[in-house]
């Protein structure tokens, strides 16, 4: 056993795969301890908030303020609200309304704004101007109001009795808060999804659920495949014919189609994560059964098996003691592949809307499904789908690496 | 022996395969039956982003295969003949439907899902969204109604009719005359006889139109060649049963040519089923567009340059685009992509986060309103309570759930802000249009309103009613039974699903277990529309639509939300799906159509809102536009927008429905 582990640990591929997998597993286990929020809680009012650090505005007013005199502050403030293309568009409008182009200097912000405010009229429709353009100019006009102001912003509170606003303080343009001192700051490393849920928290939980689904599906598939393969290969004859007949039948029917049909007929009400895992397991045992059978057939005429037979051992005893150990390494590798394909099958089903029902638990496939329904991929909301694809890819990749690594160790033909 | 074995196994295998196939198909028996039930094409469009929803599945018969080939030949042979004869003049050589000249074609999305079944104005299962939709805002691209309804000002404007219609003093008959300029595509004039014969045919063959109106309309008579008399059915007191529906008939039902109808009847041999199943490729029409091409990838209509509406008494010119084209997209995502690419000019589909298209992508795309809610809300997607579910018969439970729901989140997340909020438009039975809002007294029912997300209030209400958690499991009990419900809506209707999720979340906050379930539409619709039996388990809180804007509104919507007349029907596509019965509400609903005094009407409407808000048989989750109306101005411009200066205002209904067709005459090319 020790020797075996040593051998395995010398396989670079296996170690790489295993470390990726272990990291994912660790994150799945540890993250909920650090961030205990329920993964399906709707926190964002609105869809697809960008990844970032969200600082509570109300709290930052009452947090201690510091004055920092930074040179570029005013410039950056203006640049963020008034971009180069806005200046260009402004020139277009002014020229269209009859102002000579030579009088306009788009680099001179103050002059440009003066000209703009003196001339802009939202009701004017220049030739060739669409309603979309008109809306744009109105938005632009609103967004640059008070752009060059150097006054402090006034904070006022409504007096409950007189209903008059009373000034309670001002915020000068040089005021800063230290994020650490603001009472409420929420980091959303992967933003929110279409429901306003924290994507990272959900992703971690979904990875856990998907791994569970993969394990359950993989184990069921491997157990069924192994049992049928062993019996069919060792007993042979009519039993072999019957089992292989059924197996071939399942090979002919594409298992994913079968999976879709079964999931559909179960109905969404009954489709929990584990039900889906079981369904996946019961439709993907076929190749394991065939492969195990052929291995067993080659084993069953070996001397030690014949000896065992002569000694009068029962079939079960022979299969478990004399055959199983010889194919154990193969079975482990098959199991790994089954787990990985179980995770992929769940994702595939859920993308089609046939996965587990939405409210109970998140899964990787369900997250993809909702991101697609709300067109995250079209609107460029990468954080709602890309991390999920990466996670699925990493899990499948790490498992395939482990599988190849083991293959190198166990398969004499591949041994270095 | 060996051979016999093999044979046995082969047989066994075939049997097993058959069994598997049958087993897998067995659970969806309703799917095949569906087309017969789809009697509500109008709602389908008003309904949410239900991509693959109902309309697609309407049985598409085999004649489609033959259609495109036939049709390509058609425009050529219909050479520019003068009046008389078959004359739809197409002067220039017809364009290839697969490469239409871009600056003569107006492209749509979100209307047509799946391929067209037919062009038969007597049938309502044509699945032909570009040409046929007889509804409150009837689609008048090919067939025309006497009047056009304008949802923005609530007025009816003459189309085939000449001038306004007139009630007689007893309000039992409507008279209107047909515009003498109106003629069919074959050049023959549209006459009063056509109008009368259309109604007679509907009645004779018991079409869906007849079924919906026969209780209210006695007869339609041609007084002379131009004058039409619509006689209302009278009640025992000698007054019209429902003058509102009689009036609405004028703007929601097509006039169909008598001569062509007779051809159709002869072809159908007097059989109603055959008459309605006829694809009617040869139908005579009076509208500005007709079929040019249709297959399973697109539908194209071409302008009839002989259209009567260019007469000075109507539009005075032809509509601007020569072709109306609708590519059949797989789903909303495909439609949005095409809209972004400028391959679609007018989009009637739910584009989530539509503002990103111009704010972030900088595309020349705009909606009717520049800011949220981007469109004019017209219908009220509503969560119905199954009033027979244990506990939901208790007002306190219903009200607590309605109070706890976080409506701002539904509107911001599920609808991506494409709905007015309940702060802006307090809940009532009215849609957010100013006309309807003015019909009831907001202040009189202000104390009945709830704001939503009021967890403490909801809890207090339940505690007060004695509905508490007595066994300490975290869930409240009523009569010793745990309050546990299933909230549901059709699968794939994404914004509704998202809304139902929020409703379910509210339950957990107040100690009422609400789980969600999304059956397929085919199953959902058969369950929900069966009102002659209590709803089965799993349908405790469920979403359906309400009427949008139309000439009978808000009365029609209120009736469909509250009237007990819809209980006990084998197939109820009307409303009141939660099976609510209140005699006072019924009496008011009965009385309103015959009431003409605005002050009394306001009182009655206010009373109905009061009943609705105190009994809470259902609660509105969001407002929704009649049609989504997002336009891309890469090629065409001058689409309707709020304050565009049109008078009467052109409503944002995709330039095809009711008065919005007027928008087709205002379009301009961005780069002429």
What mean pLDDT comes out for the span B409-414? 90
ipTM computed for the complex: 0.79
Nearest 5°: the CA angle B537, B540, B544 is 115
User: Are the Cβ atoms of A265 and B27 closer than 8 angstroms?
Assistant: yes
| Least confident interval from A6-10, A264-268, B106-110, B417-421 | A264-268
* Long-range CB contacts for residues A316-324, cutoff 8 Å, separation at least 24: A318/A234, A319/A230, A319/A231, A319/A234, A323/A230, A323/A234, A323/A296, A323/A299, A324/A230
What is the total residue count of chain A? 416
| Contacting residues of B for A268, CB less than 8 Å apart | 491, 517-519
Mean pLDDT along residues B553-577: 88
- Mean pLDDT is highest, among A141-150, A215-224, A402-411, B126-135, for A215-224
Contact yes or no for B23 and A249 at CB 8 A: no
User: Residue B516 pLDDT > 90, yes or no?
Assistant: no
* Probe site for chain A from B406, B413, B636, B641 (most A CB atoms < 10 A): B413
Q: Which residue of B has its CA nearest to A379?
A: B356
The C-alpha R_g of chain B, in whole angstroms, comes to 26
Q: What confidence category does residue B512 fall into, taking pLDDT thresholds of 50, 70 and 90?
A: very high
Q: Inform me whether the pLDDT recorded for B74 exceeds 50.
A: no
Run of H or E including B34 = helix B30-37
Contact A265 B353 (CB under 8 A): no
Residue B203 has pLDDT above 90, yes or no: yes
Give the span between the Cα atoms of B619 and B104, in whole angstroms: 45
- The nearest alpha carbon in chain B to A135 belongs to B370
Quote the pLDDT of residue B645.
Answer: 86
Q: List pLDDT tens digits, range A252-291.
A: 887 778 778 877 777 666 677 888 888 889 888 888 899 9
When pLDDT is cut at 50, 70 and 90, the band that residue A380 belongs to is confident
**Binding-face residues of B in 546-605 toward A, CB within 8 A:** none
Burial class of residue A365 (count of CB atoms within 10 Å of its CB; 0-12, 13-18, 19+): buried
pLDDT, mean of residues B59-78: 36
Asked if the C-beta of B453 comes within 8 angstroms of chain A's C-beta atoms, the answer is no
The contact set of A with B (CB < 8 A) is 42, 44-48, 128, 130-133, 135-136, 138-139, 194-196, 238, 241-242, 245-246, 249, 253, 258, 261-262, 264-265, 267-269, 353, 357-359, 372-375, 377-380
Share of chain A above pLDDT 70, in %: 97
The average confidence (pLDDT) of chain B is 83
User: What pLDDT score was predicted for residue B498?
Assistant: 86
Please tell me the distance in Å from B338's CA to the nearest CA on chain A: 11
* Phi, psi values for residue A24, rounded to 5°: -60, -45
Task: Please report the pLDDT score of residue B65 as a whole number.
Answer: 35
Q: Does B343 touch chain A (CB under 8 A)?
A: no
Spans of all domains in chain B? 377-453+486-625
Buried b (16+ CB within 10 A) or exposed e, B148-165: bbbbbbeebbbbbbbeeb
Residue A408's pLDDT is: 82
Tokens of B81: 């003949």
pLDDT tens track for B352-388: 889 989 998 889 999 999 988 999 988 899 999 999 8
Does residue B50 register a pLDDT over 70?
A: no
What is the pLDDT at residue A81?
Answer: 86
Question: What pLDDT, on a 0 to 100 scale, did the predictor assign at position B16?
Answer: 52
CB count in 10 Å sphere of residue A310: 8
Q: Is pLDDT above 70 for B1?
A: no
For residue B554, say if its preceding peptide bond is cis, omega within 30 degrees of 0.
yes
CATH number of A2-44+194-410: 1.10.3720.10
HSE, CB side, 13 Å, CA atoms: give it for residue B361.
Answer: 22
**pLDDT of A416 above 60:** no
- Is A379 close to B492, i.e. CB distance below 8 A? no
Is the C-alpha dihedral spanning B21, B27, B33, B38 positive or negative? negative
* Chain B residues touching A130 at Cβ < 8 A: 364, 366, 633, 637, 670
Integer Cα distance of B157 and B287 in angstroms: 16
B413 and A47 in contact by Cβ < 8 A? yes
CB contact under 8 A, A136 and B358: yes
B468 φψ region: left (φ > 0), alpha (ψ -120 to 50), beta (else)? beta
Residue B46: its pLDDT value, please?
37
* B98 interfaces chain A, CB cutoff of 8 Å: no
Token pair listed for B215: 């209780």
What gap in Å lies between CA A101 and CA B443, rounded to an integer?
56
Tell me how far the alpha carbon of residue B442 is from its chain's centroid: 28
Q: How far is CA A324 from CA A220, A300, A330, in A?
A: 17, 11, 10
Q: Is the pLDDT of residue B82 over 60?
A: no
CATH superfamily of B377-453+486-625: Dipeptide-binding Protein; Domain 3 (3.10.105.10)
Which residues have a Cβ under 8 Å from the Cβ of B412 and sit 6 or more positions away? A45, A46, A47, A196
Q: CB B352 to CB A375 under 8 A?
A: yes
Predicted confidence band at A330 (pLDDT cuts at 50, 70, 90)? confident
Q: What would the mean pLDDT of B244-257 be, rounded to a whole number?
A: 92
pLDDT digits (tens, 9 = 90+) for B532-555: 888 888 899 999 988 888 888 899
Query: How does strand B227-232 pair with strand B173-178?
Result: antiparallel
- Tokens linked to A187: 């980091």
pLDDT value of residue B80:
37
What pLDDT, in 10s, does the model give residues B91-127? Answer: 445 667 778 899 999 999 988 888 888 999 998 888 8
Q: Which residues of B touch A374 (CB under 8 A)?
A: 352-353, 494
> Which whole-number Å values give the CA distances from B300 to B45, B79, B128, B131, B474, in the listed order?
19, 19, 11, 10, 59
- Which residue of A lies nearest to B667 if distances are taken between CA atoms? A130
The total of other beta-carbon atoms located within 10 Å of residue A345's CB is 26
Taking an 8 Å cut-off on Cβ atoms, the answer to whether B16 and A358 are in contact is no
Q: Which pLDDT belongs to residue A358?
A: 61
Per-residue pLDDT, averaged over B200-222, amounts to 91
Residues of chain B with C-beta less than 8 angstroms from the C-beta of A241: 5, 9
Q: Which residues of B, range 640-659, sit inside 8 Å of A by Cβ?
A: 641, 644
| pLDDT tier at B15, thresholds 50, 70, 90 | low
pLDDT of B45 above 70 = no
Given phi > 0 = left and psi -120 to 50 = alpha, else beta, which region is B65? alpha
Task: State the pLDDT at residue A124.
Answer: 79
Contact between chains at A267 and B519 (C-beta distance less than 8 A): yes
For residue A79, name the pLDDT band (cuts at 50, 70, 90).
confident
Given this model, what pLDDT does residue B85 score? Answer: 39
Give contacts of B413 with chain A, Cβ < 8 Å: 42, 44-47, 194-196
Least reliable range by pLDDT among A106-115, A162-171, A217-226, A252-261: A252-261
Query: What ranges do the domains of chain A cover?
Result: 2-44+194-410, 54-69+151-187, 83-143
Model pLDDT for residues B621-672, shown as the tens digit of each residue: 999 998 899 999 999 999 999 888 888 999 999 999 999 999 999 999 988 8
Residue B518 confidence (pLDDT): 82
Kindly report the nearest CA distance between residue B164 and chain A, in angstroms.
33
Per-residue model confidence (pLDDT) at position B559: 92
- Predicted confidence (pLDDT) at residue B494 exceeds the cutoff of 90: no
Give the CA distances from residue B216 to residues B161, B249, B591, in Å, rounded to whole numbers and listed in that order. Answer: 21, 10, 14
Contact B189, B182 (CB under 8 A): yes
Token readout for A108 is 């001179």
Q: Is the pLDDT of residue B83 over 70?
A: no
Which of A389-393, B90-94, B560-564 is the least confident region? B90-94
Residue A80 has pLDDT above 60, yes or no: yes
pLDDT surpasses 80 at B9: no
Q: Residue B435 half-sphere exposure, CB side, CA atoms within 13 Å? A: 16
Contact state of B408 with A269 under an 8 Å Cβ cutoff: no
Q: pLDDT digit string (tens) for A179-206?
A: 999 999 999 999 999 888 999 999 999 9
CB B314 within 8 A of CB B148: no
If we measure between CA atoms, which residue out of B622, B581, B588 comes closest to residue B387? B581
Binary contact (B353, A48; C-beta < 8 A): yes
Tell me the chain A residues in contact with residue B667 when contact means C-beta distances shorter than 8 Å.
Answer: none
Number of A to B CB contacts under 8 A, please give it.
Answer: 129
| B24–A194 C-beta distance less than 8 A | no
């Amino acid at each position: 056993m020790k020797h075996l582990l040593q051998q395995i640990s010398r396989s670079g591929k296996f170690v790489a795969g295993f470390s990726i997998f272990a990291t994912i597993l660790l994150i799945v286990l540890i993250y909920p301890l650090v961030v205990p929020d329920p993964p399906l809680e709707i926190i964002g009012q609105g869809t697809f908030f960008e990844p970032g650090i969200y600082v509570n505005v109300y709290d930052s007013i009452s947090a201690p303020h510091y004055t920092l005199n930074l040179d570029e502050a005013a410039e950056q403030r203006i640049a963020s609200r008034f971009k180069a293309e806005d200046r260009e568009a402004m020139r277009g409008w002014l020229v269209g309304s009859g102002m000579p182009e030579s009088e306009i200097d788009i680099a001179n912000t103050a002059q440009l704004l003066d000209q703009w405010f003196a001339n802009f009229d939202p009701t004017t429709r220049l030739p060739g101007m669409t309603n979309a353009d008109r809306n744009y100019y109105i938005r632009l006009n609103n967004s640059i109001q008070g752009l060059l102001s150097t006054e402090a912003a006034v904070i006022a509170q409504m007096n409950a009795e007189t209903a008059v606003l009373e000034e309670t303080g001002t915020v000068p343009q040089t005021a800063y808060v230290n994020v650490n001192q603001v009472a409420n700051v929420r980091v959303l490393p992967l933003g929110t999804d279409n429901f306003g849920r924290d994507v990272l928290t959900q992703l971690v939980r979904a990875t856990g659920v998907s791994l569970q689904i993969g394990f359950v599906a993989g184990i069921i598939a491997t157990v069924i495949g192994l049992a049928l393969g062993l019996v069919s290969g060792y007993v042979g004859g009519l039993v072999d014919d019957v089992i292989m007949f059924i197996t071939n039948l399942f090979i002919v029917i594409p298992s994913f189609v079968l999976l879709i049909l079964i999931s559909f007929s179960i109905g969404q009400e009954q489709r929990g994560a584990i039900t889906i895992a079981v369904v996946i397991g019961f439709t993907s045992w076929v190749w394991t059964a065939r492969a195990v059978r052929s291995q067993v057939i080659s084993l069953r005429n070996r001397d030690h098996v014949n000896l065992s037979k002569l000694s009068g051992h029962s079939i079960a005893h022979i299969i478990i003691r004399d055959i199983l150990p010889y194919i154990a390494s193969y079975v482990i590798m098959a199991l790994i592949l089954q787990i990985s394909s179980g995770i992929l099958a769940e994702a595939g089903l859920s993308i089609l809307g046939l996965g587990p029902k939405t409210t109970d638990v998140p899964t990787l496939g369900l997250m993809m499904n909702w991101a697609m329904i709300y067109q995250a991929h079209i609107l460029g909301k990468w954080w709602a789908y890309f991390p999920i694809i990466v996670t699925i890819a990493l899990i499948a990749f790490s498992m395939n690496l482990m599988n190849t690594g083991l293959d190198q160790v166990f398969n004499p033909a591949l041994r270095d | 022996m060996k051979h016999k074995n093999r044979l046995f196994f082969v047989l066994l295998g075939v049997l097993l395969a058959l069994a598997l196939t049958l087993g897998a198909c067995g659970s969806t028996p309703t799917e095949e039956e569906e087309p017969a039930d789809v009697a509500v094409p109008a709602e389908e469009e008003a309904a949410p982003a239900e991509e693959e929803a109902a309309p697609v599945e309407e049985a598409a018969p085999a004649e489609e295969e033959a259609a495109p080939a036939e049709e390509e030949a058609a425009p050529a042979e219909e050479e520019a003949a003068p009046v008389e004869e078959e004359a739809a003049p197409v002067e220039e050589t017809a364009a290839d439907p697969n490469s239409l000249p871009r600056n003569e074609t107006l492209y749509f999305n979100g209307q047509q899902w799946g391929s067209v079944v037919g062009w038969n104005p007597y049938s309502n299962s044509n699945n032909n969204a570009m040409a046929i939709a007889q509804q409150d805002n009837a689609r008048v691209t090919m067939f025309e109604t006497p009047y056009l309804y304008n949802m923005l000002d609530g007025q009816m404007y003459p189309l085939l009719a000449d001038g306004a219609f007139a009630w007689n003093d007893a309000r039992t008959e409507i008279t209107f005359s047909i515009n003498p300029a109106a003629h069919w595509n074959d050049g023959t004039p549209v006459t009063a006889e056509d109008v009368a014969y259309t109604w007679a045919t509907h009645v004779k063959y018991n079409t869906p139109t007849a079924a919906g109106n026969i209780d209210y309309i006695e007869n339609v008579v041609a007084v002379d060649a131009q004058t039409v008399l619509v006689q209302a059915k009278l009640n025992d007191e000698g007054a019209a049963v429902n003058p509102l529906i009689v009036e609405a008939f004028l703007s929601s039902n097509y006039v169909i040519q008598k001569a062509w109808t007779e051809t159709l009847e002869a072809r159908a041999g007097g059989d109603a089923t055959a008459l309605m199943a006829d694809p009617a490729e040869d139908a005579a029409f009076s509208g500005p567009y007709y079929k040019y091409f249709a297959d399973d990838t697109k539908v194209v209509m071409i302008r009839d340059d002989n259209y009567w509406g260019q007469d000075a008494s109507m539009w005075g010119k032809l509509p601007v685009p020569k072709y109306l084209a609708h590519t059949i997209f797989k789903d909303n995502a495909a439609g949005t992509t095409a809209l972004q690419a400028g391959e679609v000019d007018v989009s009637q589909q739910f584009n989530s986060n539509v503002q990103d298209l111009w704010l972030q992508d900088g595309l020349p795309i705009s909606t009717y309103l520049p800011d949220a809610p981007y469109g004019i809300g017209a219908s009220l997607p509503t969560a119905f309570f199954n009033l027979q579910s244990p506990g939901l018969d208790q007002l306190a439970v219903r009200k607590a759930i309605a109070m706890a729901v976080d409506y701002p989140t539904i509107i911001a997340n599920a609808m991506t802000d494409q709905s007015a909020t309940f702060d802006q438009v307090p809940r009532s039975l009215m849609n957010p249009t100013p006309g309807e809002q003015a019909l009831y007294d907001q202040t009189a029912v202000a104390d009945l309103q709830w704001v939503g997300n009021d967890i403490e209030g909801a809890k207090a209400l339940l505690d007060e009613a004695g509905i508490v958690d007595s066994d300490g499991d975290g869930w409240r009990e009523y009569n010793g039974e745990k309050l546990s419900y299933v909230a549901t809506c059709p699968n794939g209707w994404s914004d509704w699903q998202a809304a139902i999720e929020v409703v379910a979340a509210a339950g957990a906050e107040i100690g009422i277990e609400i789980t969600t379930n999304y059956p397929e539409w085919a199953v959902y619709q058969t369950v929900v529309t069966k009102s002659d039996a209590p709803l089965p388990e799993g349908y405790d809180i469920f979403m359906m639509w309400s009427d949008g804007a139309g000439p009978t509104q808000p009365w029609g919507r209120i009736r469909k939300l509250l009237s007990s007349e819809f209980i006990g029907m084998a197939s109820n596509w009307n409303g009141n799906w939660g099976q609510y019965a209140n005699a006072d509400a019924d009496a008011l609903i009965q009385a309103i159509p015959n009431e003409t005094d605005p002050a009394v009407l306001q009182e009655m409407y206010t009373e109905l809102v009061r009943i609705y808000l105190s009994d809470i048989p259902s609660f509105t989750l969001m407002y929704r536009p009649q049609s989504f109306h997002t336009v891309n101005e890469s090629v065409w411009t001058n689409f309707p927008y709020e304050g565009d200066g049109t008078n009467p205002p052109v409503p944002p209904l995709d330039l095809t429905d009711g008065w919005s067709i007027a928008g087709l005459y205002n379009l301009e090319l961005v780069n002429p």
